[in-house]
Structure 1
Amino acid sequence: MRYRYFISYAHQSGYGNTELHRDQPISNHDDVAAIGTRIAARNNLPWACVLNFQRYEEPRTAFNE
């Protein structure tokens, strides 16, 4: 199962947000810290701090109702 998240974060110049796809759910502080590091690296930022995250719900279909 893939997990989709909306991530909001702060960085040196302000704030940002992104969508993140993961094979595992976010379950601890280490996951959150790693996500901040990944966001900083991908956006050429000196640092990024995850402020909040929200998992997207799976869309309802005839197959999963």
Structure 2
Amino acid sequence: MDLYRFEAVLENSIVPIVVVAESEEKAFKMAEIELEKHFLPLPEVKEIALFEKKKIRKSVAFVIHE
């Protein structure tokens, strides 16, 4: 399993998304699903970019600075 850090670029903001998944493909899909669940209605998503990928071992972390 890996820990993925994405950034979704919306019309007027950038949203960080953190996902745990078995593959990059599944991680992108989960990021899209979580965006849909978080925003009602879903704003226009210009892009979702993968910024970091880390293997999950005993511990792993990301710093998300806004």
TM-score normalised over the length of structure 1: 0.55
Distance 1:7 1:18 in 2: 5
The count of aligned residue pairs is 56
2:47 is aligned with 1:52: no
Aligned position for 2:4:
5
Shift in Å at residue 6 of structure 1? 0.9
Query: For the structure 1 residues 39 and 47, does the alpha-carbon distance in structure 2 shift closer, same or farther, using more than 3 Å as the test?
Result: farther
Distance 1:50 1:7 in 2: 7
Structure 2 segments unaligned to the other structure (5+ residues): 60-66
What letter corresponds to residue 8 of structure 1 in structure 2?
E
Query: For the structure 1 residues 47 and 36, does the alpha-carbon distance in structure 2 shift closer, same or farther, using more than 3 Å as the test?
Result: farther
Shift in Å at residue 35 of structure 1? 4.5
Distance 2:54 2:27 in 1: 17
Aligned position for 1:41:
36
TM-score normalised over the length of structure 2: 0.54
